[in-house]
Chain A
Amino acid sequence: MEIEEKLALLNYKTDKSYEHITVNPNICETCPDHFCTFACPAKCYTLIEGKLNFKYEDCVECGTCIVACSHGSVSWSNPKGGHGVKYKFG
């Protein structure tokens, strides 16, 4: 089963007014490892033609990326107002 199919099972209440994680593209551009792309369990970080692409909409709010990024590019806040992932089982 592909990760994309697994993520499609989830109920997200996406906050259109607030991105709870942001990355600094200047730092990512010169990043030697892009470890975030391997660590993030929700495949929010991908390389497209060598450039880092990040999407917060699929985030499951685990916090892996803030630990994974050793270059200080990721800033991480909790989503607000009950937005974000909404597990049924947990």
Chain B
Amino acid sequence: MKIVVMIKQVPDAEEIFIDPVKFTLNRSQARGIINPSDENALEAALRIKEAVGGEITIISMGPPQAENAIIECMGRGADRGILITDRVFAAADTYATSLTLAAAIKKLGEFDLIFAGESTTDSGTGHVGPGVAEFLGIDQVTYTINTKIEGEMLIGERELEDGIEVVSARPPLLVTVMINANIPRHSSLRKKVDAIRKGIEKWDHDTLSLPPDWVGLKGSPTLVGALKIPEERKRASKIIKLEEIPDLVNELVKNGVISTGGD
């Protein structure tokens, strides 16, 4: 089974704080970690590899420092690592990121499964996994907490608001994995030493040969107009006694906050 796992290095959310004066997020002290649900995605992929055999390729887009995150994944059992890194990819929104990652996966050739974390802690859109599936024209199984292969099919348990849905889908597929879906394993010294020796592959804009205005900021239709902290809305409050409840109900009906129904 050929498996791709998409990971992203994100600033550790535990180390981001809100600037007490400017009310902006200060990331200057935050160190890079693997996006938490991406660790769960890798673990899900490793379990499938252990069950049915196969090869796992890690793909990540980001600055050169993201190499450490990829080596860590290889230390846990991934076979190959590719870092897509180029200044022209910088400032990409989720559309351009999905497109770039999809192009990279296409370049890899055949694949059966693509795993991705459900969303990242630094932007939290949850767009990129599904976006890659759309650009590649494949089916997707999202919000999984458990996945396994039965015959030719992937069986995925999806955690939805009103329960768990079990689906069966035929690869090639993209699967997104929920945070806490599993407990990620530790990397091993043997595998990490081997990973460092093997090294990772670095792909840039030339490797992917995408039109320049499809990638990075140019390829990003999302424009951030402004950022602001919503003003705190003062809510009216008053303490009422038990015997005043009928009056309160009448007042709420009168003001249209609640309706009596019926008529």
Contact = CB atoms under 8 A, between A and B. Distances in A.
A and B touch in the complex (CB under 8 A): yes
Contact of B186 (A11, A80, A86, A88): A80
A11 B187 contact: no
Contact of B183 (A16, A80, A88): A16
Interface in A48-90: 80-83, 86, 88
A90 to B, nearest CB: 13
Contact of B15 (A11, A80, A82): A11
Nearest to B12: A11
By secondary structure, the B interface counts as loop
Contacts of B29: 88
Contacts of A30: none
B240 to A, nearest CB: 37
Nearest to A11: B14
Interface residues on B, range: under 10
A26 interface: no
Contacts of A86: 12, 14, 31
A69 to B, nearest CB: 27
Given A11-B12, A11-B14, A88-B29, A17 B187 contact: no
Interface in A16-39: 16-17
Contacts of A81: 185-187
A17 B12 CA distance: 21
Contacts of B15: 11, 88
Interface string B176-215: 0000000101110000000000000000000000000000
Contacts of A16: 183
A16 B15 CA distance: 20
A4 to B, nearest CB: 17
Interface string B17-51: 00000000000010100000000000000000000
A80 B31 CA distance: 19
Interface in B66-121: none
A81 B15 CA distance: 20
Contacts of A83: 186
B14 A17 contact: no
A82 B71 CA distance: 14
Nearest to B180: A16
Nearest to B33: A13
A17 B39 CA distance: 14
A80 B76 CA distance: 13
A60 to B, nearest CB: 15
A4 B31 CA distance: 24
Contacts of B185: 81
A83 B186 CA distance: 9
Across the A-B interface, give the 3 residue pairs with the lowest CB-CB distance, nearest first.
Answer: A81-B186, A11-B14, A17-B183
Interface of A: 11, 16-17, 80-83, 86, 88
